[in-house]
Structure 1
Amino acid sequence: MRLPTLRRARSTDPDALAGTARLDRRTKRLTGRLRPGEIAVIDHVDIDRVAADALVAVGVAAVLNAKPSISGRYPNLGPEVLIKNGIVLIDDLGEEIFERLREGDSVVIEGDSVLLDGEPVGSGVRQDAETVARSMADAREGLSVQLEAFAANTMDYLKQERELLLDGVGVPDVRTQIAGRHVLIVVRGYDYKDDLDVLRPYIHEYKPVLIGVDGGADALVESGYTPDMIIGDMDSVTDDVLRCGAEVVVHAYPDGRAPGLERVHKLDVAALTFPAAATSEDLAMLLADDKGATLIVAVGTHANLVEFLDKGRGGMASTFLTRLKVGGKLVDAKGVSRLYKQNISGSALLLLVLSATAAMASAVAVSTVGKAYLTVVSEWWDNLVFQLGHLF
């Protein structure tokens, strides 16, 4: 992605850059108000790829992280994405950075230091391709520990939610007709735009039930579709999309608390709740399976162990078990996008046109009507040649 031209700071350091600071401890929430060339101030241990992709998409000039972007617990993918796209990344600035900076401050980055009005307000570790590669190598050595923790979380989740997984206990009754139909579940995650693009013919032909998981509902609308259902904690879906007429299912904690429900009610939108310890994308799959979907196509979801660990949450154990539960119904759209990326070559298209033209000419030449038409055209041509010859 081509990034906007960075605004250079008035400094003796030729590599210094300046920009407007935007602060939020939740990266997902911050990306909604960032603008190209601004500086993101975050509090995010082990930046995952989804968060990094979102920061790249808005075109930030730099990322200032109060925490380590790679803690060493596991090889998370986000920092590589940021560095690869030319975004300055400074780590370990400490909690004080949120006290010393305010939203909208104009800050200057010099080396590994952050300046406000010419005074240093924080200093950290400036990452580059070499330091990130070294940290990733160290993190891979500790991967076995994370695998053990992942397995333990999986067993804990199975004990906690076995009735939901095995018998569908707690799945709400929805009005959307799912039985006997395909279901397309969209999460605003890995490669979701490419996957939605490739799936256009499939969506047109099969007309699946469209379920957006939080911001995935916005992704559907941006691609020209109207979601049939929105599932999630409602922290990243826009108000306009919530009002689009889709059935809304709010993800609640196991004890029934649903912080997102208040926002939905303020918009005067009816909603159901789905209490569970799983992730919102898992709830969408479990609901589709329980209500009789014949096929579930997943867009932007977590599909393999590396992606599960990259998210860095114990809750990702539910994703693993959900896929075991859904089984053969689940198709990941990433595989579809890889299969259909090749375009028809120009030579193949030209050959197709020539073949069609030759076939039409042959059909005209052998048919009675075609012969009569050719006779008329031949006489017209002879008359035209004769008249031109007479004139010159």
Structure 2
Amino acid sequence: MSATQSVVIGTARLGRRTKDLTKRLQPGDIAIIDHQDIDRVAAEALVERSPAAVLNVAASTSGRYPNAGPRILVDAGIVLVDELGSDVFEEVRDGQTVTITGGTVRLDDTVIAEGTAQDDDTIATSLEIAREGLSQQLEMFAENTMEYMLRERDLLLDGIGAPDVRTNLDGRPVLIVVRGYHYKEDLATLRPFMRENRPVLIGVDGGADAVIEAGFRPDMIIGDMDSVSDRALRSGAELVVHAYRDGRAPGLERLEELGLGDEVILFPASGTSEDIAMLLADEKDASVIVAVGTHGTLEEFLDKGRAGMSSTFLTRLRIGSKLVDAKGVSRLYRQRISTFQLVLLALAGLAALAVALWATPGGQALVQIFGARLDGLLSWFTLLFSPRATGS
């Protein structure tokens, strides 16, 4: 059956912000989103929740650049319908049952929207068109980079504006966790490094929850606090709120409602929260900065689809050799031999020695003598506990 003929029935779950919607999606639900140019991170988060379909009121690929999200969804077997129009959010209520037939969406027997059902062919065509506009995006990226460099030159060059923090980072390795590209795999690979080197753990917004899910506790949480759980905020980590340059800090209000506003530190800066986390670690003389789930390639910069990613590019230039991507660590780092491995090695050596002894006449005689001595010892031990005869 082709994508245009497929029929899917499920419970509608609506959310204009994909990262918020994924928290309450259940397998088999139909996710209704408003997400132009679905990026890799959003697509992987949706796939993890196993919805039956994704209905996008916007264009999953607008043509600005070749984004990876639509391909990930379709390859996972999730029905994807595009450009349904924003009226869907007015027509459908959360929890209602909707039916999808090709690109048509029905509520009961009423057609409420029609869009484009995506498949391998339509996605390939969209990506080909998007590649033609890539040069324009690179020009815009360069312009935004220059603008950011001029606006934040003091912070980039001299560290001016970085706040004082209680957490000691001087001379210590720092692990910065962002809930981004392959963060779970990176954290799993780095577990031996984290146990043996005990780095300072900094969670960037939802990255703090990723640290907790991995079995550790964040030392510091940095961000606008919009996608981190209350549990993580109450974990005892030092809280650094990413504020606007003019001092406004929307995340501070939430912390005050939780009773955590007294010891909050504000960090006014443009750019992304992962950038200021790296700049703070560098300014406080961290020995090495290991990045988990952050953005490091041109594809990832463009995949975020916003001008602010130019700050990430410049931040990486500023930090230089201190910054190591987690994927590089996973390839270079090797765990020291554990106690369990040493025991296995010793047992294997003893087994090899026993086989070698048994293969020689002298060894066989030695084994027979040892067996006789062991048999005598067992007989003596048995007599100790055997009932003694008593006189009449």
| Normalised TM-score (structure 1) | 0.86
> What pairs with 1:161-180 in structure 2 (closer than 5 Å)?
161-180=152-171
2:318 — aligned with what? 325
1:274 — aligned with what? 267
> What pairs with 1:1-392 in structure 2 (closer than 5 Å)?
15-269=6-260, 270-338=263-331, 356-357=349-350, 361=354, 376-380=369-373
Instruction: Assess if the C-alpha contact under 8 Å between 2:178 and 2:294 holds in 1.
Output: yes
Rounded to whole Å, the distance in 2 between the matches of 1:303 and 1:161 is 20
* 2:242 aligned counterpart, secondary structure: strand
* 2:60 aligned counterpart, secondary structure: coil
In the alignment, residue 308 of structure 1 is paired with which amino acid?
F
* 1:71 aligned counterpart, secondary structure: coil
Cα offsets for 1:144-184 (capped at 9, x unmatched): 11111000000010111111111111111100000000000
Residue 377 to residue 285, structure 1, CA distance change in 2 (3 Å): same
Rounded to whole Å, the distance in 2 between the matches of 1:96 and 1:171 is 44
2:389 — aligned with what? none
Greater Cα shift, 24-33 or 14-23: 14-23
* 2:254 aligned counterpart, secondary structure: helix
* 2:81 aligned counterpart, secondary structure: strand
How far the C-alpha of 1:16 sits from its partner, in A, is 1.1
Instruction: Assess if the C-alpha contact under 8 Å between 2:221 and 2:239 holds in 1.
Output: yes
Rounded to whole Å, the distance in 2 between the matches of 1:118 and 1:21 is 15
Cα offsets for 1:108-166 (capped at 9, x unmatched): 11110110121011101110111101111111111111111000000010111111111
How far the C-alpha of 1:25 sits from its partner, in A, is 1.3
Residue 379 to residue 296, structure 1, CA distance change in 2 (3 Å): same
Rounded to whole Å, the distance in 1 between the matches of 2:242 and 2:305 is 20
Instruction: Assess if the C-alpha contact under 8 Å between 1:194 and 1:337 holds in 2.
Output: no
Runs of 4 or more off by more than 6 Å in structure 1?
A: 362-365, 381-384
Q: Identity, % of aligned pairs?
A: 62
Cα offsets for 1:320-345 (capped at 9, x unmatched): 0000001000010122335679xx9x
In the alignment, residue 267 of structure 1 is paired with which amino acid?
L
In the alignment, residue 298 of structure 2 is paired with which amino acid?
L
Rounded to whole Å, the distance in 2 between the matches of 1:189 and 1:244 is 22
How far the C-alpha of 1:33 sits from its partner, in A, is 1.5
* 2:248 aligned counterpart, secondary structure: coil
In the alignment, residue 311 of structure 1 is paired with which amino acid?
K
Instruction: Assess if the C-alpha contact under 8 Å between 1:179 and 1:291 holds in 2.
Output: yes
How far the C-alpha of 1:378 sits from its partner, in A, is 4.4
How far the C-alpha of 1:379 sits from its partner, in A, is 3.0
Rounded to whole Å, the distance in 2 between the matches of 1:382 and 1:169 is 80
Instruction: Assess if the C-alpha contact under 8 Å between 1:25 and 1:44 holds in 2.
Output: yes
Rounded to whole Å, the distance in 2 between the matches of 1:138 and 1:147 is 16
2:385 — aligned with what? none
In the alignment, residue 272 of structure 1 is paired with which amino acid?
I
Unaligned runs of 5+ in 1: 1-12, 385-392
Rounded to whole Å, the distance in 1 between the matches of 2:117 and 2:321 is 46
2:387 — aligned with what? none
Unaligned runs of 5+ in 2: 378-392
In the alignment, residue 82 of structure 1 is paired with which amino acid?
L
Residue 256 to residue 378, structure 1, CA distance change in 2 (3 Å): same
How far the C-alpha of 1:376 sits from its partner, in A, is 5.0
Cα offsets for 1:242-283 (capped at 9, x unmatched): 000000111111111111111111111131111111101111
In the alignment, residue 162 of structure 1 is paired with which amino acid?
R
- The structure whose Rg is larger is 2
Equivalent pairs counted in the alignment come to 361
Instruction: Assess if the C-alpha contact under 8 Å between 1:198 and 1:340 holds in 2.
Output: no
Greater Cα shift, 28-37 or 354-363: 354-363
* 1:260 aligned counterpart, secondary structure: helix
Residue 268 to residue 321, structure 1, CA distance change in 2 (3 Å): same
2:381 — aligned with what? none
Residue 54 to residue 151, structure 1, CA distance change in 2 (3 Å): same
Rounded to whole Å, the distance in 1 between the matches of 2:248 and 2:376 is 89
Cα offsets for 1:65-93 (capped at 9, x unmatched): 11100011101111111011011111111
Rounded to whole Å, the distance in 1 between the matches of 2:97 and 2:332 is 46
Rounded to whole Å, the distance in 1 between the matches of 2:332 and 2:119 is 34
How far the C-alpha of 1:357 sits from its partner, in A, is 2.1
Rounded to whole Å, the distance in 2 between the matches of 1:355 and 1:103 is 61
Aligned-residue Cα RMSD (Å) equals: 2.8
